[in-house]
């Protein structure tokens, strides 16, 4: 008889928490019982799991006793407050926040890249930043065939990356502009997002990069086991509701052609090659939304180089799924595979 597991979700009422619930159902994860946790304002709310109503409980110390797998998406401060207690109570924590990603004792996992690292856990496993996960699904198969030396990436990050309230703010501001309102309400994002974009995701650091931009290099090195990999990122928030996109320039160790890249990616798990510009087919967030796979296209030789070692490509991936909820559930699937 197939073993079933008691699963808990911290931050169940948030945008990622909702996707975690739906992903568990869609992927037929063997759930014996599900328990949902959130802050005080959501306690008592009813949410559906496989057609049954489940009451949201208060996220607090001791609430994970008896739970096998705990999916956390309640923010870094909540993870730091409760994840270690959950692990001590016997749950394996899969954390979606930034709280433990660079902790040497915590595996940072994208299953298509480094699934074996799951089994090195000491009670907590970290989900990477959403943009890092989307990027590495596409570039790691190339790295395994021809070592990557350097990546330059510019992102086009949807409002969904800042949560459900940011998505609502985009919708509200758009309606305000179309009504002709002069003053727009800006609360959950750094700047006005409707009919605008801005090059700030997260806080700036002393080197001029934002924390989000530094995650690309730090997390990629850890996940890919490539300590010398160089990554420079510029992260931009754009007026798109859901799914992030990335323009990527890659420097390889040896010459490589677009045809070789297409062949490698056509066989890569979690990737769909959408690369027919003549017929206006290329990755777009509107197509990536709701998809498990990362879309990759606009694959071409970097014409600024004369050594054949540069490739340009464009990626779109669902931030709430592969960038968060799906990746967490995939980690859980790897975890129970043994």
Specify the 3-state DSSP secondary structure of 10.
strand
The pTM (predicted TM-score) of the whole model is 0.94
Q: What is the pLDDT of residue 164?
A: 84
Q: Which of 21, 41, 19 is nearest to 31 (CA)?
A: 21
Indicate which CATH number applies to the domain containing 78.
3.40.50.720
Annotation marks residue 244 as catalytic: yes
In this structure, are 137 and 264 located in the same domain?
yes
Alpha-carbon distance of 302 to 290, in angstroms, equals 31
Tens digit of each residue's pLDDT (9 = 90 or more) over 296-326: 999 999 999 999 999 999 999 999 999 999 9
In this structure, are 189 and 300 located in the same domain?
yes
Predicted confidence (pLDDT) at residue 171 exceeds the cutoff of 80: yes
In this structure, are 29 and 142 located in the same domain?
no
Tens digit of each residue's pLDDT (9 = 90 or more) over 142-156: 999 999 999 999 999
In this structure, are 78 and 16 located in the same domain?
yes
DSSP label at 115?
G
In this structure, are 214 and 330 located in the same domain?
no
Within 8 A by CB and 6+ apart from 171, the residues are: 241
In this structure, are 279 and 315 located in the same domain?
yes
In this structure, are 191 and 271 located in the same domain?
yes
Which domain range does residue 229 map to?
Answer: 132-319
In this structure, are 218 and 306 located in the same domain?
yes
pLDDT band at 111 (very low <50, low <70, confident <90, very high): very high
Number of compact structural domains in the chain: 2
Return mean pLDDT, the chain: 96
Q: What is the pLDDT of residue 163?
A: 86
In this structure, are 86 and 156 located in the same domain?
no
Indicate which CATH number applies to the domain containing 282.
3.30.360.10
Q: Which of 63, 121, 131, 244 is an active site residue?
A: 244
Q: Which of 299, 201, 291 is nearest to 256 (CA)?
A: 299
Q: What is the pLDDT of residue 1?
A: 59
Annotation marks residue 235 as catalytic: no
In this structure, are 119 and 153 located in the same domain?
no
In this structure, are 287 and 144 located in the same domain?
yes
In this structure, are 210 and 100 located in the same domain?
no
Q: Which of 130, 131, 143, 235 is an active site residue?
A: 130
């Amino acid at each position: 008889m197939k073993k079933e597991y008691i699963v808990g979700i911290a931050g169940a009422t948030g945008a990622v928490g909702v996707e975690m619930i739906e992903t568990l159902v869609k992927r037929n994860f063997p759930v014996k019982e599900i328990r949902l946790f959130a802050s005080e304002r959501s306690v008592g709310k009813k949410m559906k799991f496989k057609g049954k109503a489940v009451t949201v409980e208060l996220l607090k110390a001791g609430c994970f006793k008896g739970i096998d797998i705990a999916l956390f998406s309640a923010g870094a401060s909540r993870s730091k407050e409760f994840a270690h207690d959950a692990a001590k109570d016997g749950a394996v924590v899969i954390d979606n926040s930034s709280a433990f990603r660079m902790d040497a004792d915590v595996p940072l996992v994208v299953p298509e890249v480094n699934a074996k690292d799951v089994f090195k856990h000491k009670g907590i496993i970290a989900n990477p930043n959403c943009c890092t996960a989307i990027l590495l699904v596409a570039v790691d198969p190339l790295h395994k065939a021809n070592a990557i030396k350097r990546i330059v990436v510019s992102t086009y990050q949807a409002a969904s990356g800042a949560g459900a309230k940011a998505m609502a703010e985009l919708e509200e501001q758009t309606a305000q502009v179309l009504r002709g309102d002069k003053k727009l309400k800006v609360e959950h994002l750094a700047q006005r997002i409707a009919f605008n974009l801005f090059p700030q995701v997260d806080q700036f650091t002393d080197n001029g990069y934002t924390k989000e931009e530094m995650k690309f290099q730090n997390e990629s090195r850890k996940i890919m086991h490539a300590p010398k990999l160089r990554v420079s990122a510029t992260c931009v928030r754009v007026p798109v509701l859901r799914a992030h996109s990335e323009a990527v320039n890659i420097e390889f160790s040896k010459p490589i052609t677009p045809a070789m890249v297409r062949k490698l990616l056509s066989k890569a798990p979690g990737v769909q090659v959408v690369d027919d510009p003549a017929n206006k087919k290329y990755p777009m967030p509107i197509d990536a939304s709701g998809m498990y796979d990362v879309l990759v296209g606009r694959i071409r030789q970097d014409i600024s180089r004369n050594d054949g070692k540069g490739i340009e490509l464009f990626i779109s991936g669902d931030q709430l799924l592969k960038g968060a909820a799906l990746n967490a559930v995939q980690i859980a699937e790897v975890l129970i595979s043994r």
